[in-house]
Amino acid sequence: MTRHWTIRQAPRMDGRLALVTGATGGLGYQTALGLASRGARVILTGRNPDKGLAALTRLQLDAPGADATFRLLDVSSLESIATFAHALAGETDRLDVLVNNAGVMGTPHRMETRDGFEMQFGTNFLGPFALTARLRPLLCAVPHGGRVVTVASLAALTGQIVFDDLQARRRYAPFRAYRQSKLADLILALELDRQARTHGWPLHSIAAHPGWARTDIATSRLDTEQGLQERLTRIGAVWAFRLMGQSAAHGALPIEFAAMAPEARDGGYYGPSGQGERRGHVTDAFVPPAARDLTIARRLWQVAERLTGTSLS
């Protein structure tokens, strides 16, 4: 890997189409900006049209002449995903890069998606799974194979896939559910790589995490209805991110590396190089044993296909 990789070391992406979910702010916006700055035609997606327009306006200022558009996409909705994928397939015959970035973190009370899934599991994992499945034909239409970048998290290190309560109906804890969803994301990236090699798909699956990046998802959303202990824990986490974290632009570098760098390996996982992988330059990230467990991966894969009504096998 190139030492101290920066966006300036990324190859030109002229003529290539990239899609970034959750691109109206934070890591998604920075990733979209990085791709656009290297000449890619970028589709920013999100579920709020006002934020989408604002992000597009900001991107044009940050990268004059950028070829970018905004499209509505709610990754917590299987219907929205299906509609979006169908429309995109009618507009293009290939997709060079898909960055599955959109997500939610630590919803203080158990919530459900429109499809009845626990909000974090549905948005962070099942949505990206379904979107990748529906866009796979476009990704595989790229001559040397499209890239799928799945954004995981340090939270995956202590995550656990609770198969007998995936939707947290019996017991809900905000960050327990978040850790599960991000471990599932990492499993998705690694298993997608195995599936691609098994079936001979021209597709490259790579994972990345931002370390402790100072974004709205990480440094906001204190809920006054939470218990005192929960609020103190959340306040401590917010201040830890602010004091020891890095900017969204730096946090996006491992994601941009995974999306563009020729040296990014299929099945690789990238994050910051500093202590605890919280901040620093891009390097190989530690993969927790649970993410390497083939029994867990294949069981989770089957569950995801059944719940989403899509297939990535």
Report phi then psi at 253, rounded to 5. -60, -45
Q: How many residues does the chain have?
A: 313
Query: Counting beta carbons within 10 angstroms of the beta carbon of residue 212, is it exposed (0 to 12), middle (13 to 18) or buried (19 or more)?
Result: buried
CA–CA dist 128, 32 (Å, integer): 17
The answer to whether residues 18 and 267 touch, using CB atoms and an 8 Å cutoff, is no
The answer to whether residues 73 and 123 touch, using CB atoms and an 8 Å cutoff, is no
Quick one: which of 290, 27, 259, 38 has its CA closest to 157?
Answer: 290
Report phi then psi at 269, rounded to 5. -140, 125
CB 175: neighbour CB atoms within 10 A?
17
> Which residues form the catalytic set?
178
Helix (H) or strand (E) holding 147: strand 146-151
3-state secondary structure labels for all residues of 100-128? ECCCCCCCCCCCECCCCCEHHHHHHHHHH
Residue type, position 6, single letter: T
The CA-atom distances, in angstroms, between 194 and each of 122, 189, 255, 271, 294 are 23, 9, 20, 21, 10
CA–CA dist 195, 4 (Å, integer): 31
The answer to whether residues 230 and 272 touch, using CB atoms and an 8 Å cutoff, is no
